[in-house]
Amino acid sequence: MALFKKKQSDLSELKLPEHIGIIMDGNGRWAKKRHLPRSAGHNAGGKTFRTISRYCSDIGIKYLTVYAFSTENWRRPKEEIDALMKLFKDYLEEALRDFKDDSIVVRFIGEKNPFSDDLKALMLENEEGSKGRDGMVLNIAMNYGSRDELVRAVKKISSGVKNGEIDIDLIDEQTISDNLYTAGQPDPDLIIRPSGEYRISNFMLWQSAYTEFVIMNKLWPDFSKEDLDEAIRIFNQRNRRFGGV
């Protein structure tokens, strides 16, 4: 794992996680505390996402996966979902306009079909426009649920067995990993959940078997670069044995 750059002098001796996952939680509660509509919380959370994703890229994180919209989030009020879709659209248009010189590779994980045609087109344009870059891979989980991801993987593997492309006796853990949205990427070393909630919320269930979790009692719109630094310090204090001694 890479070391921090010199500008992060207080963390210069610490190892960076290669892959960080973030459950961006607390936008609604942030807005409620301020007597604002939930959409205001999502807008504030969007600004934090921009800041933290760029910061992760700047300090040398190789993979960042952010949980933006889950398969269960469709159950929210239509007004809130509409506001979120507008926020996603505004961000993707901004990314095409302002981030074209960044080194970040953008990928979307999750089932895209339920989204509008213009949103799907923007996702594709961002992915295609960034795939030649050589910097951090940013996975944006939209309409993502880990159980749904595993069902999808099982169907793909089953189809491969049926068509004679996969030998059922050779199916192993790697076969599962190779059929997930994150195929070819390392499992997350660290998952951060702001907001103080102690739940994984259907996020990267397979990939997080040996991930270190850091729960932070701060709502996502208030999450800062310093909070990310602190999570990495905590990560460095963990003794990762992966089932060994």
Question: 208-238 burial, b if ≥16 CB within 10 A, otherwise e?
Answer: beebbbbbbebbbbebeeebbbbbbebbeee
Task: Note whether 188 and 204 are within 8 A (CB).
Answer: yes
167 is known as an active-site residue:
no
Tokens of 24: 């961006």
Q: Name the 3-class secondary structure at 109.
A: strand
73 is known as an active-site residue:
yes
Amino acid identity at 52: I
| C-alpha distance from residue 37 to each of 3, 28, 57 (Å) | 41, 8, 31
d(CA 21, CA 15): 16
The catalytic residue among 25, 27, 126, 139 is 25
Dihedral of alpha carbons 85, 47, 71, 112, sign? positive
HEC profile for 138-199?
EEEEEEECHHHHHHHHHHHHHHHHHCCCCCHHHCCHHHHHCCCCCCCCCCCCEEEEECCCCC
The catalytic residue among 10, 43, 58, 73 is 73
Task: Give residue 190's region: left, alpha or beta (phi > 0; psi -120 to 50).
Answer: beta
**Residues taking part in catalysis:** 25, 73
